């Protein structure tokens, strides 16, 4: 690939994978995703790093009640809201994650505070909320989530989770993922999204990945790291590795999910075994695209 193209930036964002009715019209979903993509494009064009960009895109998606993350999170069976998020930086494998955190407006920004790894890479529950408060992050009452949740009817287990992957002008990669979890989850339940290697992964040697779908299945095949290792150790190119990773998700656990990923050359791939994968992307600074399905589709059993 030429030097000029190599300096160009790539970005993908997602608003979740799943099956069943969508929470809004196609046009509305695409418009919301396009807005976030445009903001991320500006940030990367202005020299923003891949990490900064995936964090702010994911925070923006958390602030959009249309998606199951941040203010659009789904309640647990006890009526509370427990959120998960993770982020990873591909140049040095720094990672940060939070699980089952309540009262934090943007869990992804809390995960970002842990990226130094000096105190912890992952925090859960009350300790995570305390840490957010001490670090001056925006805290919100439960009504904030109740209002967001009521804004868009979700009668079914529709797509949830948000995330972003990027390649910046220096060729560095990063990934971020955030979720409100699964509808009807029991208190304390944690899925794949905050788990480094399952929900998120980024390594400049291979790719950056953000996953979505049924966490109990995704985490058992470490979907994000599996894709990266199929590239790094298996020698596959991004699209072939993504197809193989999702095929294995289905073959091993009949898993339902999707992913977005970017490689070191700035190529983007979207793949799913679910019915939907809400996503938007541009490659090498080129035109933006939105889709409600991934490019690679693997049928479940």
- Give the residues lining the site for ligand ASP (CB under 6 A): 16, 18, 160-161, 179, 181-182, 191-193, 212-215
Range list of H helices, the chain: 3-6, 26-45, 50-62, 107-113, 125-134, 142-151, 215-218, 223-232, 238-253
Which is nearer to ligand ASP, 9 or 36 (by Cβ)? Answer: 36
Shortest Å, Cβ 12 to ligand ASP: 15
Q: Which is nearer to ligand ASP, 48 or 180 (CB)?
A: 180
Q: Of 161, 212, 222, 290, which residue is the catalytic one?
A: 161
Distance CA 183, CA 23 (A): 13
CB of residue 30 vs ligand ASP: minimum separation in angstroms? 19
Please give the structure tokens belonging to residue 83. 């959120």
Q: Cβ distance 24 to 152 under 8 Å? A: yes
Q: The tokens of 248 are what?
A: 């294995």
Judged by beta carbon, residue 44 or residue 249, the one nearer ligand ASP is 249
Residue 155: phi, psi to the nearest 5? Answer: -85, -15
Closer by beta carbon to ligand ASP, 34 or else 220:
220
- What distance in Å separates the CA atoms of residue 171 and residue 50, rounded to the nearest whole number? 9
DSSP, residue by residue, 62-82: HT-TTSSSGGGPPP-TTS---
Nearer to ligand ASP, 43 or 193 (CB): 193
Q: Which helix (H) or strand (E) holds 15?
A: strand 10-18
Confirm whether 222 is a catalytic residue.
no
Residue among 92 and 248 whose Cβ is closer to ligand ASP? 248
Smallest Cα–Cα separation from 57: which of 11, 101, 117? Answer: 11
In the bound state, the residue with its beta carbon closest to ligand ASP is: 215
Q: Extract the tokens encoding 182.
A: 């699964």
Contacting residues for 208 by C-beta, under 8 A, at least 6 apart:
50, 54, 88, 90, 165, 166, 167, 173, 174, 175, 201, 202, 261, 262
Active site residue ranges: 161
């Amino acid at each position: 690939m030429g030097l000029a193209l190599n300096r160009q930036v790539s970005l993908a964002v997602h608003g979740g994978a799943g099956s069943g009715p969508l929470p809004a019209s196609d046009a509305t979903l695409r418009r919301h995703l396009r807005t976030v993509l445009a903001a991320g494009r500006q940030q990367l064009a202005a020299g923003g790093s891949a990490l900064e960009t995936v964090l702010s895109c994911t925070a923006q998606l958390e602030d959009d009640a249309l998606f199951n993350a941040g203010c659009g999170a789904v309640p647990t069976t006890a009526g509370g809201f427990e959120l998960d998020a993770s982020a990873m930086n591909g140049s040095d494998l720094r990672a940060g994650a939070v699980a089952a955190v309540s009262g934090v407006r943007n869990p992804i920004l809390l995960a970002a505070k842990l990226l130094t790894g000096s105190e912890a890479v992952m925090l859960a529950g009350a300790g995570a909320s305390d840490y957010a408060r001490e670090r001056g992050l925006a805290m919100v009452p439960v009504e904030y989530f109740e209002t967001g949740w009521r804004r868009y009817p979700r009668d079914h287990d529709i797509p949830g989770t948000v995330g972003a992957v990027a390649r910046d002008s220096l060729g560095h990669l990063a990934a971020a993922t955030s979720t409100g979890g699964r509808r009807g989850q029991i208190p304390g339940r944690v899925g794949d999204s905050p788990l480094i290697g399952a929900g998120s992964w980024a390594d400049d040697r291979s790719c950056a990945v953000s996953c979505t779908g049924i966490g109990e299945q995704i985490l058992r095949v470490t979907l994000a790291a599996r894709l990266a290792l199929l590239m790094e150790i298996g020698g596959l190119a991004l699209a072939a590795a993504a197809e193989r990773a999702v095929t294995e998700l289905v073959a091993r656990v009949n898993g339902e999910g999707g992913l977005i990923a970017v490689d070191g050359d700035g190529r983007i791939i979207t793949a799913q075994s679910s019915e939907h994968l809400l996503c938007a992307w541009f490659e090498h600074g080129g035109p933006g695209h939105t889709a409600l399905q991934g490019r690679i589709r693997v049928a479940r059993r």
